[in-house]
Amino acid sequence: MTWQGTADPTWTADIVQRVRAGDVDAFGQIVKGYERRVFALAVMILRNREGADDVTQDAFVRAFERLDLYDARRPFYPWLATITVRLSTNWLARHSPGARRETPIQPESSAYASAAPAALDVLVAEDESRHLWRLVERLPLGERTAVVLHYRQELSVSEVASAIGVTAGTVKTLLFRARQHLRASLAGATPSTIRSPR
Amino acid sequence: MTCQEIYERIWTEALRECSPAVRNAIDSHAGQCPRCRSALRIVEDMTLALNRLEEPEPERELSAAIMARVARLPAARESSRAAEVSRAISSGVTSWVWILAGVAIVAAERTTALTVSAWPWSLTTPRLEGTGFGPLTGSGVSALWLAAGLLMFLMGLLRRQHRALGERA
């Protein structure tokens, strides 16, 4: 799915202007327009619904407090995603000190290995979404965040870089590794030896 | 680009953001090379599947909880107060504009009417008749001007009254 309404920069710019002029209720439209995306991002980073709930609330509150810092000429969501990613990593640091380290992907069960030739066709089947979410959830933090922001939330590589606080080259590397890990998970094979981009 | 370069690009590039030239090179090569075609299909299928993922839904109360927290922020309270003051000032000014405009129209109509009726030559050359201004009894349009003026005056008074009631509430 795409986010037709919220993708319109004029829509957001208009609302932001009203909020800045003191119309606090107008901020409710921003919340309604973006809460699903922010929540989904937080769930994927934290792998915890309650934590995602807290982070989503904090992200909007922070966005409201710092709305003056937002450059209305730029798209709104990448700015909001940056806040969400930072709050999520803070939450992880508070709740699981080891979570920020990049951990290798867990080995997959042999059930996926046996489905290797038609692995991607499986994704189009009924429970494709749940299956793929599980695979994405198992990716290391950086790859997971990059995949969700780039593929699911349709941010450009440079926007993802800004949200995560790394260079575009690093994002490409993260996406590359994520694809390799997903491919390996689906095929039950070892990631190939293709060089990562830098 | 060699086959190996294209193969690596398929895996390493964010294909959505490739330049058209690179994308064309990849597509035309993949049309002839089974290995690159297979890699491209895997990456594209994966991208499509990721793009179609159904996301977890937040609780229904989430936006209400967010707005409750936002409303408690000092910045929000201050902002609302400032907006209210601004609205009140703007509403007060508008009321006065209505009242004064009403008074001005009635005064202009009456002055013109008195002037025209006081000048004897105006009876033979009713120069102002076309404008609608003139003695009340002599022109229907004149009555309309008076009615419009009084209506505006009343609108202004009503707006003021409404605002005063709102402030008391």
pLDDT at B17: 74
pLDDT at B129: 53
pLDDT at A113: 31
- CATH code for the domain defined by A1-101: 1.10.1740.10
| Same-domain status, B33 and B91 | no
Given an 8 Å threshold on Cβ–Cβ distance, is B13 in contact with A28?
no
Q: Is the pLDDT reported for residue A77 higher than 80?
A: yes
Which of A39, A132, A180 shows the shortest C-beta gap to B56? A39
Assess if residue B57 is contained within a domain.
no
Average pLDDT over residues B117-121: 59
Q: Is the pLDDT reported for residue B53 higher than 80?
A: no
Q: The domain containing residue B106 runs over which residues?
A: 82-168
Distance CA B71, CA A123 (A): 43
Helix and strand counts by DSSP (H, E) for chain A: 11, 0
Distance CA B80, CA A167 (A): 40
pLDDT at B160: 79
Q: Is the pLDDT reported for residue B73 higher than 60?
A: yes
Which of B56, B71, B75 shows the shortest C-beta gap to A49? B56
Assess if residue B124 is contained within a domain.
yes
Can you read off the two tokens belonging to residue B138?
């002599």
Domain A103-198, architecture per CATH: Orthogonal Bundle (1.10)
Q: pTM of this prediction? A: 0.62
pLDDT at A189: 45
Cβ within 8 Å of residue B103, ≥6 positions away: B149, B153
Domains of chain B: total = 2
pLDDT at B163: 72
Distance from CA of A175 to the nearest CA of B (A): 8
Cβ within 8 Å of residue A126, ≥6 positions away: none
| Same-domain status, B100 and B162 | yes
Q: Is the pLDDT reported for residue A82 higher than 90?
A: yes
| Same-domain status, B44 and B89 | no
pLDDT at A160: 92
The tens digit of pLDDT for each residue in B123-167 reads 444 555 555 555 444 566 677 888 888 898 898 888 877 777 665
Which amino acid, residue B135? P
Distance CA B61, CA A185 (A): 36
Instruction: Give residue B169's pLDDT band: very low, low, confident or very high (50, 70, 90).
Output: low
Given an 8 Å threshold on Cβ–Cβ distance, is A133 in contact with B83?
no
Average pLDDT over residues B39-44: 83
Closest CA to A180 of A171, A190, A166, A170: A190
Distance CA A36, CA A29 (A): 13
* Mutation site for B-interface testing, chosen from A20, A53, A160, A194 by largest number of B Cβ within 10 Å: A194
Assess if residue B58 is contained within a domain.
no
Distance CA A56, CA B102 (A): 53
| Same-domain status, B19 and B94 | no
Q: Is the pLDDT reported for residue B120 higher than 80?
A: no
- Which A residues 8-47 touch B at CB under 8 Å? 21-24, 27-28, 31-32, 35-37, 39-40, 43
Identify the residue with better confidence: B169 or B16: B16
Assess if residue B66 is contained within a domain.
no
Assess if residue B70 is contained within a domain.
no
| Same-domain status, B89 and B42 | no
| Same-domain status, B115 and B159 | yes
Given an 8 Å threshold on Cβ–Cβ distance, is B59 in contact with A120?
no
Q: How many CB atoms lie within 10 A of CB B144?
A: 12
The tens digit of pLDDT for each residue in A142-173 reads 998 998 898 888 888 899 999 988 998 899 88
Distance from CA of A41 to the nearest CA of B (A): 9
Segments making up each domain of chain A, as ranges: 1-101, 103-198
Instruction: Give residue A112's pLDDT band: very low, low, confident or very high (50, 70, 90).
Output: very low
Assess if residue B71 is contained within a domain.
no
Neighboring chain A residues of B49 at a CB cutoff of 8 Å: 120, 123-124, 128, 132
pLDDT at B111: 81
Distance CA A102, CA B166 (A): 59
Which amino acid, residue A91? W
Q: Is the pLDDT reported for residue A85 higher than 90?
A: yes
Which of A136, A172, A192 shows the shortest C-beta gap to B14? A172
Distance CA A91, CA A51 (A): 8
Given an 8 Å threshold on Cβ–Cβ distance, is B8 in contact with A194?
yes
| Same-domain status, B86 and B161 | yes
pLDDT at A192: 47
Angle at A52 between CA A49 and CA A55, to 5 degrees: 160
| Same-domain status, B36 and B86 | no
pLDDT at A39: 93
Q: Which stretches of chain B sit within 8 Å of chain A by CB?
A: 7-8, 11-14, 17, 41-43, 45-47, 49-59, 62-63, 65-67, 69-71, 73, 75-76, 79-80, 82-84, 86
Q: Is the pLDDT reported for residue A100 higher than 50?
A: no
Assess if residue B116 is contained within a domain.
yes
